[in-house]
Structure 1
């Protein structure tokens, strides 16, 4: 059995991550007890006519409120999935989403999940942008664009006002998608992710797509956990190439390098979970060890990059995924000197730890974390919520990172609308959504104070 992977390929499929079912309980102690209502659900019921809600990062027992009329019908009598989720997500997010998350979500989510007393997803009203997702106070759903069929990951090439977007297709190729928000459904693949010599072997897409500003990379794994990164050069397609990377799992790009969460990279001996860097500033590309995990770390994890340059490096230990923040001054110095970053250092603080992490993406000066679980039958990912952790540079020379309080971005309250991907877009977050109306990308923004 494969023992180095902890997530699916695309966010909505998990064809081979046999070790990705995380079952332990979130640790407490001095850490926040909860970020959203799904943390509190692990505690069970506090008693008759009561339920736990997440208040100030603690699970608190509260009386279940008397059901209220919703959209003209009494107390969830068949239309709450439409009026609550459909209107809250688009028009009432600042008031209803803020209060529903604390007082009404258990009542709604418990009955809305699927049919809500007979109302099916086909009949339930959906917000044009977010479907039945519930956006929390402090965030805005801005413009949307169609998400072409088959695209399971996207990445912007630049952080300009109209960044070029590239997509990873389920046909195992990289495609150009136009510029945001003018997405086009291209029918011409730019570059195959799987090297021709491996296309006859059993192979699996690893679900990520990353850019160093010039190149775009995606990865795959073979049955023996060997694998490669396909590196497509957007300025000189003829210079595109493949680089060996055993167990490549999650990648982000910075100027002049890809930062790879894997078991190794071409040019580096051994097979150990770590953060490797592929320096792309000159050819041939050079692979080095960039950051080491604690001794107890068993598996690879998630990488992300905030808009202020703070990198997030993750690993899995036992049933939990751990995420650490690393200042750009720290990892760029290591890249230049050929040294490695120690993720047990005080300057690389742990920012999140949970048994239900499905993905991580930069979201402004912070990281958005998709939380949920894997279906036991087909290992498909089932996102339940998205939370955001603010990250700020501190210390002399901006070499340290201050971790802010995690906060909920949105909740998946029923099975009618799915979250299928997240990706950074400058200071914002692209959210891939699928429901009865379409597959689309929604640009989420942080509401100004």
Structure 2
């Protein structure tokens, strides 16, 4: 069924869905292909005007009803529209016509909560579905993941430019004709940026573009790569494997980039019950969030930089069941996670039952601080609301860390833009 399908653009990703695909291939016939319509989201689209539905535990292609479904969140084609229609609902939302509803110049109809403020904004070029800033400068250079499966330079914040020259293809030449699923992330270790994809046979690769020496750019095998964050000298990869490590198990893997050839190692292991990959994030104080999924719940654990850097140096792994790696969030509505100052911003929402697009509904931030001897312990603060999606007139299309702040991708009748959110000073 999958041999004729190529998934391009930016898929809306649920860890349990993507990894059910991966584990289903590895453990043939152990589980039904689907239980409900959400399980079929991993397959993307079977073709124009069609969708997969779950019938008798099988994902079957069916015609999409002629009446469109309003979509208030990011969609699988959110990175491909030209911004002309802004992806908004042409009808009404709770009695409000989006075309005539009041829209803030930065946030549209999104509702920012107390304690946060919206600073400058900049246009978000059409086709860009994920961004990664190199933040070692006061004017951070930004790179973008485009729906044409390439990495682009986007200028420096806030002077965003719509480059027309791809820097590096995400998909390796040997895989260009194969069925593939873009992972949708873009991450940087301060010098390099990486994006990934998975093939139908579960194998996959990371494309690693070197911004200082483009000729040193390369591809590294990574089975089921799902989310990645970068620290100085390494990428921390939430996947089933990394080149140089045997086996295939959901875990956090590290790719050390300080010397060539790059070295892969297992960095953190999940609790025994965890079966699926999840989300990674990195706070500005270096605390890493490592996530996994079991059933429909996503879990996030906090790991101090002293803990994971020691494991990186020694070639050992961190056990996420320890007292020094506290679980700080658990929910069945996690759509993504990004560093936001000394904490992690969590995008919450659900997946549409008709067209399987993600519908973000809110962002919350969990403060994370270091304490203890050698700053090896993490104190988890109280989750605080950042933003609410009030209606379908304005979409949240991406989030990304920018120093102490959070870049928010917004799309509405006025187009696509990036907005810099900041903690309000007291």
Fold shared, TM-score > 0.5 on shorter chain: yes
2:305 aligned with 1:307: no
Aligned mates of 2:14, 2:322 — CA distance in 1: 33
Aligned mates of 1:285, 1:330 — CA distance in 2: 21
**Alpha carbons of structure 1 residues 358 and 117: separation in structure 2 relative to 1, 3 Å:** closer
**Could you tell me which of 216, 229, 240 is aligned with 1:263?**
240
Mapped contact 1:114–1:121 kept (Cα < 8 A): yes
2:394 aligned with 1:417: yes
Mapped contact 2:190–2:231 kept (Cα < 8 A): yes
Matching residue of 1:178: 155
2:274 aligned with 1:297: yes
1:438-449 equivalences under 5 Å are: 438-449=415-426
Aligned mates of 1:159, 1:296 — CA distance in 2: 38
Give a deviation string over 1:20-54, Cα, whole Å, max 9, x none: 799xxxxxxxxxxxxxxxxxxxxxxxxxxxxxxxx
**Could you tell me which of 301, 309, 315 is aligned with 1:332?**
309
2:337 aligned with 1:360: yes
Matching residue of 1:228: 205
Q: Any gaps of 5 or more consecutive residues in structure 1?
A: 3-7, 23-111
SS in 2 for 1:19: helix
**Alpha carbons of structure 1 residues 225 and 21: separation in structure 2 relative to 1, 3 Å:** closer
Aligned mates of 2:391, 2:162 — CA distance in 1: 29
2:200 aligned with 1:202: no
Mapped contact 2:299–2:331 kept (Cα < 8 A): yes
| CA displacement at 1:293 relative to structure 2 | 0.2
**Alpha carbons of structure 1 residues 130 and 178: separation in structure 2 relative to 1, 3 Å:** same
**Could you tell me which of 208, 211, 218 is aligned with 1:241?**
218
Matching residue of 1:377: 354
2:383 aligned with 1:400: no
Mapped contact 1:13–1:381 kept (Cα < 8 A): no
| CA displacement at 1:373 relative to structure 2 | 0.6
Aligned mates of 2:184, 2:17 — CA distance in 1: 16
**Alpha carbons of structure 1 residues 130 and 284: separation in structure 2 relative to 1, 3 Å:** same
Aligned mates of 1:213, 1:142 — CA distance in 2: 24
Aligned mates of 1:304, 1:9 — CA distance in 2: 24
SS in 2 for 1:330: helix
Let me know the Cα RMSD of the aligned residues: 2.2
| CA displacement at 1:115 relative to structure 2 | 2.5
1:64-213 equivalences under 5 Å are: 115=92, 118-213=95-190
Aligned mates of 2:108, 2:175 — CA distance in 1: 40
Mapped contact 1:210–1:216 kept (Cα < 8 A): yes
Matching residue of 1:342: 319
| CA displacement at 1:254 relative to structure 2 | 0.2
SS in 1 for 2:17: coil
Mapped contact 2:395–2:412 kept (Cα < 8 A): yes
Mapped contact 2:338–2:344 kept (Cα < 8 A): yes
Matching residue of 1:428: 405
2:215 aligned with 1:217: no
Mapped contact 2:150–2:166 kept (Cα < 8 A): yes
| CA displacement at 1:118 relative to structure 2 | 4.2
**Alpha carbons of structure 1 residues 17 and 256: separation in structure 2 relative to 1, 3 Å:** closer
| CA displacement at 1:225 relative to structure 2 | 1.8
Over alpha carbons, which structure has the higher Rg?
A: 1
Aligned mates of 2:420, 2:134 — CA distance in 1: 16
Aligned mates of 2:329, 2:8 — CA distance in 1: 22
SS in 2 for 1:219: strand
Mapped contact 2:15–2:276 kept (Cα < 8 A): no
Matching residue of 1:14: 12
Aligned mates of 1:15, 1:396 — CA distance in 2: 38
| CA displacement at 1:378 relative to structure 2 | 2.5
Task: Please report the TM-score for the alignment, with normalisation by the length of structure 2.
Answer: 0.80
| CA displacement at 1:119 relative to structure 2 | 3.0
| CA displacement at 1:125 relative to structure 2 | 1.4
Aligned mates of 1:324, 1:17 — CA distance in 2: 16
Give a deviation string over 1:225-252, Cα, whole Å, max 9, x none: 2100000000100000000000000000
SS in 2 for 1:448: coil
Aligned residues: 354
**Alpha carbons of structure 1 residues 209 and 334: separation in structure 2 relative to 1, 3 Å:** same
